[in-house]
Amino acid sequence: MIFEKSALFKQESYIDGEWISSPDTLEVIDPSSQQLVGTVPSLGEQETLQAIHAAHRAFLPWKNLTAKERSVILKNWHKLIVDYTNDLAVIMSKEQGKPLAEAEREVVSCAAYVEWFAEEAKRVYGDTIPMSQKGKRIVVLKEPIGVCAAITPWNFPLSTITRKAAPALAAGCTVIVKPSSYTPFSALALAVLADKAGFPPGVINVITGKAEILGKVLTSSRLVKKISFTGSTEVGRVLMRDSSDSLKKISLELGGHAPFIVFEDADIELAVTEAMISKFRNSGQTCVCANRFLVQESIFDEFSMKFIEMVRSQLVVGSGLQMDRNQGPLIDGKAVEKVENQIQDALAKGARLAAGGKRIAGKGFFFEPTVILDATSEMRIAQEETFGPVAPLFRFKTEDEALQIANDSQYGLAAYFFTKDLARVWRMTERLECGMVGINTGILSSEAAPFGGTKDSGMGREGSKYGIEEYLELKYMCIGGLT
């Protein structure tokens, strides 16, 4: 459990197969105790360019390996991640705060993406197309795009890396990972295991430092052909603008504001149980978590009573390394303030506080799991992504009203609804403005499914057979003289 003794705990960046230090460092703080976890190099333009050139040099040899050869190395990486589940989970829990059991589940998810794309490496198929002119044939090839930069967030510091890096590597691309400065140690631990797995120098690089400095270098370099980013919509817009001069391929997984709709014909016990998982996983700090609970008026009282009771009886707040706790801290003081402000605004505009509602005194950025009743569209919490353990409950009367409320958002990442009506399943799914829909379930992420959204929630997909397409370019061959 003492993570400092883990061979995976590194306080250096990883460039071209070497561990790199710097006199300038960034401190990483444990959000549970507000104590120092460690430091990492605060790299600048020179070191970022070093990583880019290393990835560029490594690209052609890596691309020229057969798909099976790349697959073997990816499978080695997968096995090592699984073997080091405990070490990875402890490091993640220490720097990010999530409960250890949740961290272990994320390691499993992280490994699953590597395994999936190790197999997909061998399934990058081209096409032959009928030609209208005699004596000619059309062949379409798929080729790796080149050097790819993966800029990843703090809330899922392992799985968001492998969702990007694994398909890129499988396709034949090389990768530069820029993890969040809140959670760099998880990324560096993956680099240790990648080195052990046999990736050649330069194929995987992990750079740490201030996002505004490193991001500018990555977006401006013409050697970097692809940017993949998970984070806020505001930062996504900046990266897209900064990448426009070099016309990079870009994929963005941005903010979410998922509605969770419960119809009167739903299995209420199931809906309550799934609502707990969807809302309070990672203390509400997930882009696909339920943010707005829309409950049909005829069952509002029954659902809210059972939901409030479960929140009060089942959620225990504390350090992620305490085995009896299932709600960790928020990531920092600003996150706590945002939650407080949304709650105060809702109460001032007529909502009722049913559970929780305040920060927990003492060290750490802990906040009580909170339920608000009778939320309305005029409240900030109806429009802003919360990223915290607050569940606002809205009433609705008709299916059309539920759809209007659900779609009244700039975001379009995920949505959930509960019903036993098969016709309604199709009506709702086709009319909801989002990239992913959970029906009678509060969890929808899987390595086999295309993860991503619409509207201000971004573009592109991660995971599934579609995920590797983000790292490939089409090349068309017109072959003549065949008569």
For helices 211-220 and 233-243, give the axis angle rounded to 10 degrees.
40
How far apart are the C-alpha atoms of 191 and 284, rounded to whole Å? 28
State which amino acid sits at residue 66: T
Residues with Cβ within 8 Å of residue 110, at least 6 apart in sequence: 81, 88, 158, 159, 161, 162, 190
Eight-state DSSP code of residue 12: S
Query: Which residue type does 210 have?
Result: K
Residue with tokens 């050869």: 69
Which residues in 211-248 are b (16+ Cβ under 10 Å) and which e? beebbbbbbebeebbbbbbbbebebbebbbebbeeeeb
Is 287 known to be catalytic?
Answer: yes
Give me the sheet containing 472-479, strands edge to edge: 127-129, 137-144, 472-479
Q: 375 — phi, psi (to 5°)?
A: -70, 155
Considering the candidates 95, 106, 253, 385, report the single residue annotated as catalytic.
253
Q: Centre a 10 Å sphere on the Cβ of residue 363 and count the other Cβ atoms it contains.
A: 14
Tokens of 186: 């998880």
Burial of 66 (0-12, 13-18, 19+ CB in 10 A): exposed
Catalytic residue among 287, 399, 447, 470: 287
Instruction: Specify whether 340 is catalytic.
Output: no
Active-site residues: which are they? 253, 287
